[in-house]
Every structure is written in C-alpha cells, then in structure tokens.
Amino acid sequence: MRAVKRDQKTRIALTLNGRKLAAEAEPRLLLSDFLRHGLGATGTHVGCEHGVCGACTVLVDGVAVRSCLTLAVQAEGREVRTVESLAAPDGALNPLQAAFRDHHALQCGFCTPGILMSFTDFLARTPHPSEAQIREVLSGHLCRCTGYANIVEAIKEVASSSHAPRSEG
C-alpha cells in the first residue's frame, strides 16, 4: 500500500513516450504539471485545469485521458504518451499530424496536442468512424480559434485513408 503525506515528495517512475523516467512529486501534483515541469515534456498544454477544454489530453496505457484530472502519483508504472511521440525522430509528421497541416486544422495550436492524442486513441479503436462519431469525440475539446470544420476534415481524411486498418467502424 502506497501512502504519501501531503508535504512529502514521492518518487514517481513511468514510461514517457517509450523512455523510462522518474521524478519526485507531492501528492497534489497533477499529471499535466508533472509532465511539463517535472519531466520537461511541454508539448502537453494546460487550459482550464478542470476537465472541460481537453487541451491536456494524453494517453495513459493507450487510453485518452485528461492529464489535469489525473494525479501524477496515479501514473506510477504507467505508459504515458504525449504529442511528442507522434512525429518520427527526424521530425516527419505522422499521417494525423500531416492531415492537420494540410487542412489548416490548427491556427494557434493551443488545443492541437490534446485533440491529436484523443484521436490517436479513438482511431486505433475505431479506424473508420462516421462524421458523427468524429464530432462526438471532438466535442470533448474546445478550440478557441474555433477551427472545428477543418479539424473534422483532417480527421476524416485519415479515417478514410489506407493508414488505418479496415475493421468494424
């Protein structure tokens, strides 16, 4: 049983984008802040800090979650993936990122990391979604630049391309 006092720091070890890392945190530290300040992975953005905007969405064990509604200590031993994992090591964009660029699906880019991570999870589970399904998942994100139409177009392109293996949609 793990127990950590409020003012005590505990060592949290996790796998971030394939690398095993560890840092110290007190119990109240949010995973979003742990990623950005503890581990230096600033690709994950923080907007509302109460689960509404979706900017902070990351994958924990392959599943898209709000990192601002997860405590860092809860990520112990987990596999965390952030937007930094999407492009190839040489910087080449992956198909989802490339489609966002091609469709002008990002303007300021504040909401983009979270949306990319949500759809990384969703398209892995549902490779050929309907537009209604795409919009339903996108409703978990706020884009202050209101670029939703282009975001939907970008995701539709990836969903209908051969990048995604065909299965039940």
Partner 1 sequence: MKPRPFDYVQPDTVDEALALLAEHGDEARILAGGQSLIPMLNLRLIEAAVLIDISRIAELDTIRSDGGVLEVGAAVTQNKLLAWPNLARESALLAAGLPLVGHFQTRNKGTVCGSIAHADPSSELPLLLAMYAGEVVLRAQRGTRAVPAKDFHKDMLTTAREPDELIVAVRFPERPRERVAFREIARRHGDFAIIAVAAAAGANGAVTLGVGGMAGRPVTRAVAAHDAASAADAIGQWAEEIKGYDDLHASAAMRRDMFRKLAANVVAEVAQ
CB-wise, 39 or 59, nearer to partner 1?
59
From 15, 17, 74, 107, residue interacting with ligand FES (rule: CB under 6 A)? 107
Q: Which residues contact 86 (CB under 8 A, 6 or more apart)?
A: 93, 94, 96, 97, 116, 120
Task: Check if the beta carbon of residue 96 is closer than 8 Å to that of residue 158.
Answer: yes
How many other C-beta atoms lie within 10 A of the C-beta of residue 132? 7
Task: Check if the beta carbon of residue 76 is closer than 8 Å to that of residue 12.
Answer: yes
The number of residues that bind partner 1 (CB under 8 A) is 34
From 35, 47, 137, 159, residue interacting with ligand FES (rule: CB under 6 A)? 47
Chosen from ligand FES, partner 1, none, partner binding at 145 (C-beta under 5 to 8 Å by type): ligand FES
Query: Which residues would be at the binding site for ligand FES (CB under 6 A)?
Result: 46-49, 51-56, 66, 68, 106-112, 143-145, 147
